[in-house]
Amino acid sequence: MEPVTLISSLTMFALAIFLGFELINKVPPTLHTPLMSGANAISGISVVGAIIAANVAFDGGHTRLSGVLGFAAVVLATINVVGGFAVTHRMLMMIAGRSRRSSE
């Protein structure tokens, strides 16, 4: 990788970290959990990208490290999506329990 490409990639990564940090800090605490669980559930596209990356690594004859990283990306993206759905489901059950109690 050329130094110019590396520097621009690192700059983009640093800006993404800063932007993400600033956006999360601006969200009120009462909205943080629903917003993040919904975002995690919607991020299923990362699973598709990880599967493509793993396929390219295995079929393209790249290094073993590429295959391991692609597999790890699939596993971590899947955990992210399943966790998002689990948190969202739990929150909905808590809200449903409150509405049942208040109507009785």
pLDDT of residue 50: 80
Opening angle at CA 101, ends 95 and 104, nearest 5: 140
pLDDT of residue 104: 55
Indicate whether 38 pLDDT > 70. no
CA distances from 74 to 50, 80, 100 (A): 5, 10, 39
Distance CA 11, CA 5 (A): 10
Distance CA 40, CA 35 (A): 9
Give me the amino acid identity at 65. Answer: L
Sequence spans of domains, the chain: 30-103
Dump pLDDT digits (tens) for 61-99: 667 777 788 888 889 888 888 887 888 788 778 877 766
Quote the pTM value.
0.57
